[in-house]
Amino acid sequence: MPLRAEFPEEGELVIGTVTSIRNFGAFVTLDEYEKREAFIHLSEVATGWVKYIRDHIREGQKIVARVLRVDPSKSQIDLSLKRINDHQRREKVQAWKNEQRAMRLVEQVGQGLKLTADQAVELFGPSLIEKYSSLFQAFEVASADPKRFQKENEKSAWSTAFLKVARDNIVPPQVTILGTFEISDPSPSGVDHVRAALLAAEKVDPESIEVHYVGAPKYRIRVRASQYKQAEETLKKATDAALKSIKTAGGEGTFSRA
């Protein structure tokens, strides 16, 4: 079920499996490009002098490498192991695992439509990748924000089936943002006024907002949401509600982001 070009691009990070090791380098099959063969020269295996290549890689090992050169006319692809850092390697592995999972979910969508996985990919794969960068991100959007997904995609049998599979299998990602209130009221009813202000903040969205006592007059507010923008909007509404409440009662309040 090809969704990629025949060859990777120079500079791209790819997942491969080491198939053969020689004294001068290693041969690799590219898992994301129909097992197309690539080569890692000994000088690109690791920084510094490499005495024994098998001290660094072995046959059957999954590796993340950077594409150095591509010559489609000769079906030649040169890779480097040393020109990536640990963070890039972890991100690429996670993205690859996500796409493997996405393809299994696509098979479920196809089953619901009585289509093969290849037919399902052909039906909606390219358009979803264009909109959301990857199939896995498309599933995440469908799970976290089904209204947005429905708005951005035609209402059809495939989109309905896609939404169902996303809802049943993907836990929406969550972001958490924090802030601190400083709220005080020296009047005899000040304690009640402060409590009312904090409750006003929580009432904006009781499921996603938590307010905790830090030490008078400081109170910590935590907001969880599936998207950063949504969390920011909820936090602003909660902040406005709390400050309006305490100031209306005659007290004082300020807010700062953590």
Whether pTM exceeds 0.75: no
One domain for residues 103 and 141 = yes
Would residue 154 count as lying in a domain? yes
Q: pLDDT band at 113, cuts 50/70/90?
A: very high
One domain for residues 154 and 207 = no
Residues 198, 242 contacting (CB under 8 angstroms)? yes
Question: From CA 63, how far away is CA 60, in angstroms rounded?
Answer: 9
Q: What is the mean pLDDT of residues 151-171?
A: 94
Would residue 4 count as lying in a domain? no
One domain for residues 74 and 106 = no
Containing structural domain, residue 212 = 175-257
One domain for residues 105 and 142 = yes
Buried-exposed string 126-140: b where 16+ CB fall within 10 A, e elsewhere: eebbeebeebbbbbb
What does pLDDT average to over the chain? 92
The model's pLDDT over 234-244, given as tens digits with 9 standing for 90+, comes to: 999 999 999 99
Would residue 119 count as lying in a domain? yes
- Per-residue pLDDT at 213: 87
Would residue 3 count as lying in a domain? no
| CATH code assigned at 33 | 2.40.50.140
Among residues 120, 137, 169, the one where a domain terminates is: 169
One domain for residues 94 and 41 = no
Domain count, the chain: 3
- Per-residue pLDDT at 128: 95
Would residue 151 count as lying in a domain? yes
The model's pLDDT over 20-63, given as tens digits with 9 standing for 90+, comes to: 999 999 999 999 998 899 999 999 999 999 989 999 999 999 99
Would residue 117 count as lying in a domain? yes
Would residue 6 count as lying in a domain? no
DSSP secondary structure string for all residues of the chain: ---S-SSPPTT-EEEEEEEEEETTEEEEEETTTTTEEEEEEGGGTSSS--S-GGGT--TT-EEEEEEEEEEGGGTEEEEESTTS-HHHHHHHHHHHHHHHHHHHHHHHHHHHHT--HHHHHHHHHHHHHHHHSSHHHHHHHHHH-HHHHHHHS--SHHHHHHHHHHHHH-PPP-EEEEEEEEEE--STTHHHHHHHHHHHHHHT-TTTEEEEEEETTEEEEEEEESSHHHHHHHHHHHHHHHHHHHHHTT-EEEEEE-
Among residues 122, 151, 169, the one where a domain terminates is: 169
What residues pair up with 41 in beta bridges, in sequence order?
A: 25
Torsion of CA 108, 113, 115, 119, to 10 degrees: -90
One domain for residues 102 and 131 = yes
Would residue 7 count as lying in a domain? no
- Per-residue pLDDT at 2: 55
Among residues 33, 66, 83, the one where a domain terminates is: 83
Q: What is the mean pLDDT of residues 97-120?
A: 95
One domain for residues 79 and 96 = no
| CATH code assigned at 202 | 3.30.70.1130
- pLDDT of residue 1 exceeding 80, the answer is no
